[in-house]
Amino acid sequence: MKILVCDKLAPPGIEVLKKAGLQVIEKTKLSLEELKKEIADVEAVIVRSQTKLTKEVLECAKNLKVIGRAGVGLDNIDVETATRLGIIVMNAPGANTISTAEHTFGLILSMMRNIPQSFNSLLQGKWERSKFLGEELYGKTLGIIGLGRIGSEVAKRALSFKMRVLAYDPFISEEVIKKIEVQLTDFETLLRESDIITIHVPLTPETKNMISEKEFSLMKDGVKIVNCARGGIVNEEALIKALESGKVKKCALDVFETEPLPASHPILKFSDRVVLTPHLGASTQEAQVNVAIEIAKNVVDALMGRQIRNAINIVSLDFKTYKVLEPYIKLAEKMGIMSSQLVPFRVNKIRITFSGLLTEYKLDPLSSAFLKGFLTPIIEENVNYINAKEICKERGIETEIVTSSKKSEFLNTIQAELISDKEEKKITGTVFGKESLRIVRIDEFYVEIIPQGYLLFILNMDKPGVIGNIGTILGKKNINIGGMSLGRESPGGKALTVLNIDQKVSKEVLEELKSLDNVLDVRFLEL
């Protein structure tokens, strides 16, 4: 079997492929036409971030079975086309955890002790000891946003420096927090009390501009910001304003909204107060070797039919069963994505109940699809059908799978209950016909929601004029409504209004909607 390696892969990874008896074709920096020609008759391909496996390229692959991404991000791979063509897409999500955590701490130390600035001063023949007076980490409060694998490793290092560590992560249990010995807190408390804030969450619709003008206003004067996660989580325009005003004393960034960083970027004018690196979080010799070996082993095992690990898009089912369950797998994943954006509390347990003819099939793929959807918007490492349950376990989230023989209003249903110590949220879905996915109940509200695109969930009182006021605001903002579903407890009581809309909604529009009379809560979801 042939495998095409399109981007530079560490030699130990190449050795794994050769020892498995694969014919390894190493060709990097291919043009589009060259890539289309080379990929035509290989069984597997390994890429990093440079090579783009687009729809046009993948449709030229006659024998391709496996794509291996030597790293985490999948922006350069058309996963939807690969799935349609039956190609397994896998990555190596855990290989750069230590490297990124160490880089984060390196940036923190460099920022606190003015290391880059003092080095540049020495290069100019100066000896400015008093100018570069630094600060100790001892006794300072570090706020960690996102306590996944990388965030947890950063926390361990901070504790060794005798720092007070606050953590915000609404999707990790208090039991797990106790093991790490950090203080779990809410988002605003972390912003108000932290001397240094470091970010370790993925870039999603929920985390886009997570740190912006409002969040900066809540922080201490002279706060320090670190971002080794993804560009766009910290609003760069708001950051510049905060640096100019002195609200942010210093910052250290490894990621940016536009990469490579433009030479004209305004943050460069603060060279005496910022530490910037060109996306080096995973750039260590060890990480490059680890990721090469991991992805090579995964690809070999998949090609040899032994095991599929870290697959992004494949559920292990025979083809006939997969075709029956495919719409329900899609439904379960959509329900998971919705649930993680809807719950306003820390989830301790997820109970998934299946009813109807679904109970005659193996349910692991369906529950894994829900958990994958639930975790995808909230953790910094990639989650897939295979590792979703294990990641829930790591985060102290108990999972329970139940089958029900009770008669339902629908032929087949999937119901998910997200449970905390004090409250819970239920979401129920079904499939009409062959492919019509529907959410039919949210808590006590019966609805009929198409789970796709952009959604507005509005909890309101069932009073005259509420829907009209909502429509007026959206109309003024040129936001088109594509569909609507209404559910209510009783006339005049609480009601749920769900709108399918054609575009994203800004935080400002959400705040304006929340300010309306008889509107209790507003949430924007992206599926």
Evaluate whether 451 touches 439 at the Cβ level (below 8 Å): yes
Contacts of residue 466, Cβ cutoff 8 Å, sequence gap at least 6: 460, 495, 497, 516, 517, 518, 519
Nearest CA-CA partner of 338 in 410, 441, 423, 432: 441
Nearest CA-CA partner of 355 in 413, 429, 438, 401: 413
Buried b or exposed e, range 500-519, using 16+ CB within 10 angstroms: bbeeebeeebeebbeebeeb
Sheet holding 412-419, edge to edge: 398-404, 349-356, 412-419, 424-432, 436-442, 445-449
Positive or negative torsion for Cα 206, 211, 217, 223: positive
- DSSP per residue over 117-132, as a string? HHHHHHHTT---TTTT
Evaluate whether 187 touches 144 at the Cβ level (below 8 Å): no
For the record, the structure tokens of 384 come out as 């897939």
Name the residue type at position 410: F
Q: What angle do CA 435, 453, 209 make, to 5 degrees?
A: 150
Nearest CA-CA partner of 255 in 180, 301, 201, 302: 201
Residue 461's CB is within 10 A of a number of other CB atoms, namely 14
Contacts of residue 271, Cβ cutoff 8 Å, sequence gap at least 6: 117
For 80, list phi and psi in degrees, rounded to 5. -60, -45
CA distance 466 to 295: 53
CA distance 515 to 466: 12
Catalytic residue chosen out of the listed positions 69, 230, 346, 438: 230
Catalytic site includes residue 230: yes
Catalytic residue chosen out of the listed positions 136, 259, 489, 511: 259
CA distance 404 to 135: 60
Conformational region of residue 492, where left means phi above 0, alpha means psi within -120 to 50, and beta covers everything else:
left
Catalytic residue chosen out of the listed positions 69, 103, 200, 279: 279
Helix/strand/coil for 334 = helix
Task: Give the CA dihedral 261, 267, 269, 270, nearest 10 degrees.
Answer: -130
- Read off the DSSP letter of residue 262: P
Give how far the C-alpha of residue 122 lies from the chain's centroid of Cα atoms, to the nearest Å. Answer: 41
Nearest CA-CA partner of 30 in 9, 52, 48, 11: 52
Residues taking part in catalysis: 230, 259, 279
